[in-house]
A and B are shown apart, each in its own frame.
Chain A
């Protein structure tokens, strides 16, 4: 599981590891923002497009959007821009998908979160733990004699750095990172525009 970035590409298992840049040479991390009607089974249809094109989903978040009845999917994956275009077109082709667009990190505001469960006796023994937690701006949200819970919000690299450093100390019991959520930096709301346009066309 552990991937030492200084030895990127040397572990010989880049494709399945996927945690250093070497595994994604020539590819970019794209964030796809997809909107669909709230029908059952659409997530299946969307993920099947990635599977067919042999693209791994790095993270996925689904929730209701600000528009009633519309669901928003935030999906990240490494691929070429050509592939990102193809994927979004094929996703948008699904009858109940309203829109699908891809973005680079520069085009969007991003948030991820993580929870790290650590052993309380071990962190009490190790003075580095509180320094690392404070350095990363993380919060300790639960402490009991057996375990403690650390919560951190931020970008992928910060979260992974926190986890890596704590893990190196051997105090981590569980680690979980949320899917990415993102909003666009654009000043126009494409979904609203689309829905208005469609309503006009209907009338």
Chain B
């Protein structure tokens, strides 16, 4: 039964048909007809008014990452759309399903440099999975359904819908659409039995296998399948930053984080193993270091859903292109049970060395100012390792990833590929809507917090229960560390004069506390967690602390610095 409605109303019904219940957005001229329609749907489509469109995109990312659903952001044309760009690029490189809907000038005015007109499609095409301009109301139902299908299927990613004003106001005989097939798009390739057999054979022959766990395992909801896979052949594993919660931190085969600031053992063993089994990871330079010396002695099996990731950075001997939820099971069936005792035990000395030289001094210091590492570990313990950790970017992120522990999936939200400062606060807001039953802890530095600090307004208005742990060192800490190490200690514009953060919190009505003494730390964390709703815990930390160990940029993966001379 067809019904004549506006394009904007068709958008609302299409969003409801996709199961959307939360949108993050900011109104403006060219999107006003959509906001007018939204007013009638405000009970089913819960709209969160952010304080800047960048916040809408990052909040939608946070929502998507913890819930596994598509995050939705809305903005107006021109500057509104442009402010979402960073979030779109971030979602693209970190494979986050997002639909960004922005207003656009009327189709008749396109190309005339009309007020608030920007060529959004051309700008977003290279940084999105799909970008489409809706120029007439008749296209709304189809375009929205196609957008959600593309965003969530295969390797997820952001989709942009550029919604012209005339298409919002135009009338249409609305008929719901359901796109679940696109002729030119095969989201989930299925590998042949031959490929599965080859992969299993390589694993069965291997004496020293090492599994690299990436976010693909979470995206494919394959945490259990991964555990059975590594347990059957008793294979040690390392996780990428985005893959940290794909394998419980306490799992006996979890050897820690890979990469530049990861753990010593998995990095050293990368260049000693005879087989790399990469699952849903893309061999980013922050993981591999110098590619010329990376795991040259090893054969490589690469599980990925995206064919274009195969042989991009590291050549694969066997490429298992498909959905790891299925492919891991198929390979596991053919695996021989193995122990690899000597190989697994070989990780211990490196774990002990790192524990003594780096970890204990970072999480159990006996004197001196508070350290970021100890704060992260205390918060993790206080939440029984079951909270969602959101981070900003920089030292807060690296210490967070090193010392927070994870027992559940979809528990880490961080800007990995893009390294977007300012991501943390809005992403944490999104996470509280994506997983309302869970505790959301944000580690953020004084630099990154100020990049999107206006979102404290959103937290205030929504009462979003974000536990903000501000690691304040009065520096842009990670850049300062690099200046110390690689730029002759020339601290070019990294010291920073900070405002009174508790004063800011008071203005927003957000409870806060500052802690500088070790003796008060646990009690302050308890207060933060026990206070209903949002809380900002400002920790005055050591100003010039360094994240260690470290593989310097371009160095070999197994050459980690344990100290800075």
Cα A127 to Cα B129 with chains together (Å): 60
Whether B183 sits at the interface, judged by CB under 8 Å, is: yes
Cα A45 to Cα B132 with chains together (Å): 12
Q: Which residue of the partner chain A has the closest CB to B180?
A: A202
Contact, CB under 8 Å: A95 / B130 = yes
Contact, CB under 8 Å: A95 / B312 = no
Q: Please, what's the 1-or-0 string for A6-45, where 1 marks a CB less than 8 Å from any CB in chain B?
A: 0000000000000000000000000000001100010011
Q: Provided the pairs A37-B184, A95-B185, A96-B184 are in contact, do residues A89 and B307 lie with their beta carbons within 8 angstroms?
A: yes
Q: Provided the pairs A41-B121, A41-B125, A48-B125 are in contact, do residues A97 and B308 lie with their beta carbons within 8 angstroms?
A: no
Q: Which residues of B contact A41 (CB under 8 A)?
A: 121-122, 125, 131
Whether A193 sits at the interface, judged by CB under 8 Å, is: no
Whether B354 sits at the interface, judged by CB under 8 Å, is: no
Q: Which of B158-199 contact A (CB under 8 A)?
A: 181-186
Contact, CB under 8 Å: B182 / A95 = yes
Contact, CB under 8 Å: B126 / A97 = no
Q: Which of A60-100 contact B (CB under 8 A)?
A: 82, 85-86, 89-90, 92-93, 95-98
Contact, CB under 8 Å: B126 / A48 = yes
Cα A48 to Cα B121 with chains together (Å): 13
Cα A44 to Cα B123 with chains together (Å): 11
A95 interface neighbour in B121, B150, B181, B308, Cβ under 8 Å: B150
Q: Which residues of A contact B310 (CB under 8 A)?
A: 89
Q: Please, what's the 1-or-0 string for A98-121, where 1 marks a CB less than 8 Å from any CB in chain B?
A: 100000000000000000000000
Contact, CB under 8 Å: B125 / A195 = no
Q: Please, what's the 1-or-0 string for B299-311, where 1 marks a CB less than 8 Å from any CB in chain A?
A: 0000000111011
Cα A82 to Cα B315 with chains together (Å): 11
Whether A131 sits at the interface, judged by CB under 8 Å, is: no
Q: Which residues of B contact A36 (CB under 8 A)?
A: 184
> Distance (Å) between the CB of B194 and the closest chain A CB?
19
Whether A134 sits at the interface, judged by CB under 8 Å, is: no
Whether A185 sits at the interface, judged by CB under 8 Å, is: no
Contact, CB under 8 Å: B125 / A45 = yes
> Distance (Å) between the CB of A189 and the closest chain B CB?
16
> How many residues of B are in contact with the other chain, CB < 8 A?
20
Cα A5 to Cα B184 with chains together (Å): 44
Contact, CB under 8 Å: B129 / A37 = no
Contact, CB under 8 Å: A44 / B181 = no
Q: Which residues of A contact B186 (CB under 8 A)?
A: 198
Q: Please, what's the 1-or-0 string for A187-202, where 1 marks a CB less than 8 Å from any CB in chain B?
A: 0000000010010001
Q: Which residues of A contact B182 (CB under 8 A)?
A: 95-96
Q: Please, what's the 1-or-0 string for B105-129, where 1 marks a CB less than 8 Å from any CB in chain A?
A: 0000000000000000110011001
> Distance (Å) between the CB of A118 and the closest chain B CB?
39
Q: Which of B127-164 contact A (CB under 8 A)?
A: 129-131, 150
Contact, CB under 8 Å: A202 / B125 = no
Q: Provided the pairs A44-B122, A45-B125 are in contact, do residues A93 and B150 lie with their beta carbons within 8 angstroms?
A: no
Cα A41 to Cα B310 with chains together (Å): 27
Among B125, B126, B129, B308, which residue has the most Cβ atoms of chain A within 10 A? B308
Contact, CB under 8 Å: B184 / A95 = yes
Q: Which residues of A contact B184 (CB under 8 A)?
A: 36-37, 95-98
Q: Which residues of A contact B311 (CB under 8 A)?
A: 82, 85-86
Q: Which residue of the partner chain B has the closest CB to A44?
A: B125
Q: Which of A146-203 contact B (CB under 8 A)?
A: 195, 198, 202
Q: Which residues of A contact B121 (CB under 8 A)?
A: 41
Cα A48 to Cα B131 with chains together (Å): 14
A202 interface neighbour in B122, B150, B181, B312, Cβ under 8 Å: B181
> Distance (Å) between the CB of B521 and the closest chain A CB?
47
Contact, CB under 8 Å: A93 / B125 = no
Q: Which residues of A contact B307 (CB under 8 A)?
A: 89, 92-93
Q: Provided the pairs A45-B125, A48-B126 are in contact, do residues A195 and B183 lie with their beta carbons within 8 angstroms?
A: yes
Q: Provided the pairs A85-B311, A95-B129 are in contact, do residues A37 and B150 lie with their beta carbons within 8 angstroms?
A: no
Contact, CB under 8 Å: B183 / A198 = yes
Contact, CB under 8 Å: B125 / A86 = no
> Distance (Å) between the CB of A50 and the closest chain B CB?
12
Q: Which residues of A contact B181 (CB under 8 A)?
A: 202
Listed in ascending order, the chain B residues whose CB lies under 8 Å from chain A are 121-122, 125-126, 129-131, 150, 181-186, 306-308, 310-312
In the complex, 10 of the A-B residue pairs with CB atoms within 8 angstroms, ordered by the A residue number, are: A37-B183, A45-B125, A45-B126, A85-B311, A89-B308, A92-B307, A93-B307, A98-B184, A198-B183, A198-B186
Top 4 nearest A-B pairs (CB, nearest first) are A89-B308, A98-B184, A95-B130, A93-B308
